[in-house]
Structure 1
Amino acid sequence: NGYKAQNGAFRALPVFGPGAPTRTFVVDSTPGADLSGGVLRTTGRPLDVAVHGRGWIAVQDEKGGEAYTRNGSLQVSSDGLLVTSNGQMVVGDGGPISVPADSELTVGKDGSVTVVSNNQFNAMTTIGRLKLVNPADEDMVRGDDGLFRQKNGQPAEADAGVNLAGSALEASNVNAVDALVSIIDQSRFFDMQIKLMQKADENASRAAQVMNLAA
C-alpha cells in the first residue's frame, strides 16, 4: 500500500590496475524514488486511511527513530498500540497511540483517533492524533527498509494541512504495463550486448590466427 517506484540507473565504474584504466564495469543504483501519488481505492475498513495529496504518516522504525510511510493500513497490536500492517508503531503528536480494549476505532481526515468504548456507555473519546508531515520531496530519501526519512536525519515538523481519506488505501504508483515493457526492453538490450561481446571475442580469435599464419 502506498508503494513508491524506485528510479533505476546505471553508471560506469572504472577498473584500476597495471596500465591505463581503459576498462569499466557497469553497476546499477537507485538514485531516487518517484513520489507521485497512487490511485485511492475504497476498502470500507475503518482502520484504512490514505494520505489525500501530499504528505506522510509518521511511524517508528526498528531502531526507534522516526520515519515516514504512505501505508495507511492500520491495526491494533496485541499490546494495544496503533501500528501499520507491517508492524511499525504509528507516531502520534504525543507519542505512541494506545487503544483501550473493547473499543471501536475511527480516524478522522485530520488524523484524530477517536474510540467508542462499549464499557463506557458508547462514549466517544479522542485518544490521539496521527503525526502527519509534509517535507519537500527533495528532502526525502528512501531507506533499505522501504521507509522514507529526511536527508538531514531530523524528524519533520507536523503539518496540519495534510488530510486523510478514510476507509481507503493508496495503491502503488508503479504502472505494471510500463514496468513490464521496460523489463522486456532491458532483456533485449542485454542479449544484444552479449552477442556483441561474443562477436568481438570471435574477431579477436581470428585476428590471432591470422597473425600466427603470418609469422
Structure 2
Amino acid sequence: MDTALYVGLAHKAALKRRMDVVAHNIANMSTTAFNKERVVFRQLLMDAPGAEATVGGKISYVQDYGIIRNLNPGTMIPSSNPLDVFIKGRGYIPVQNKEGETLYTRNGRMMIDNNRNLTLLSGELVLDDSGQPILFDDDDFDVHISDDGTISTNNGDKGKIGLAQFSNEQDMKRRGSSLYETTQAPVAQDNMTDIALRSKAYEGSNVNSIEAMTEMIDVMRAYEKASQTESSYDDLRKDALKRLSQVR
C-alpha cells in the first residue's frame, strides 16, 4: 500500500477519534458537573519505506496522544433542594460506591436515601471529613449546609462533608459521567487552597453548546476533505497504472 494512503488513513482515524470526543461532550451538555474533553495529538515520525539511514527520509503521521479535561467549573445552577451544593474552588467530594470504592466528584446533587444516608442522586454514599457515611435520624429536618460543609438540622450537627484536592487533576480517571478515581493521595488539609460550598445550588456541565456544534461541523468538513483527497489520489494512481499498462 502506498505511503500517501497510510498517511491519509492516519489522518482520518485521528478525525474520527476527535469526532467521538466531541459527540461525547455534546451528549453530556446537561450532565451535572461534566467536564468537556479534547483529544491531544502529536507528530509521529517514521522512516520512509526504502529510505536509507544515511538519507534520513521520514514520514510524518498523526498519533493519538491522550485526552485532556477542561477543568473550568461549570455554571452554578440554583436549586430549591437544601442538600444540593456547588463547590467553589478546585475541590472534590469523596463518595463510596456499592463496591466499597472511594471515588471523587464535583456533582453536588444529593438526597437522603431510605437508610437515612446522605447520597448522590445516583446512589453513592457521601463521606464526611473522616471518611465515614453521613447518617440522619428519622426526626431530622430543617437541613442546612454551611460554607465549610458542616451539616446542621433541628437536632444539631450531623457531620461535615468531606472535601479533597489533588495535585494532578488530569491524572484522575473518569468513572461514569461525573465520578473519578485516582491513586493519588489527597493534598494535606493545611496545604489545600480555598474551597467553599454554596448550598441550594449545583454545578452544571462546562460544555458550550455553540462551540461544541461548531467544532463538530469543522471535524465533519475536515473528514470530507480527507476522503476527497484520498479518492483523488486513488484516481491518479489508477490512471498512472493504466498509462503504464499501455506502454510498449
Q: How many residues align?
A: 205
Amino acid at match of 2:126: V
The range that moved more, 59-68 or 126-135, is 59-68
Tell whether 2:147 aligns with 1:115. Answer: no
Question: Which position in structure 1 is the counterpart of 2:165?
Answer: 134
**Per-residue deviation, 1:170:** 1.3
> What are structure 2's unaligned runs of at least 5 residues?
1-31, 52-57
RMSD of equivalent CA atoms: 2.9
Superposed, which structure 2 residues align to 1:45-194 within 5 Å? 45-94=81-130, 95-104=132-141, 105-116=143-154, 124-138=155-169, 140-145=171-176, 146-150=178-182, 152-158=183-189, 159=192, 161-194=194-227
Amino acid at match of 2:149: G
- Percent identity between the aligned chains? 26
Contact 1:73 1:169 in 2 (8 A): yes
The range that moved more, 53-62 or 182-191, is 53-62
Amino acid at match of 1:111: G
Question: Which position in structure 2 is the counterpart of 1:207?
Answer: 240
SS in 2 for 1:37: coil
Structure with the larger strand share:
1
Contact 2:166 2:184 in 1 (8 A): no
Give per-residue Cα distances to partners, 1:20-59, cap 9 Å, x unaligned.
Answer: 8x88986656422111112212112211110013211111
Task: Provide the rounded CA distance (Å) in 2 between the counterparts of 1:49 and 1:138.
Answer: 20
Structure with the larger helix share:
2
**Per-residue deviation, 1:130:** 0.6
Instruction: Give the TM-score of the pair, scaled to structure 2.
Output: 0.71
Contact 1:35 1:137 in 2 (8 A): no
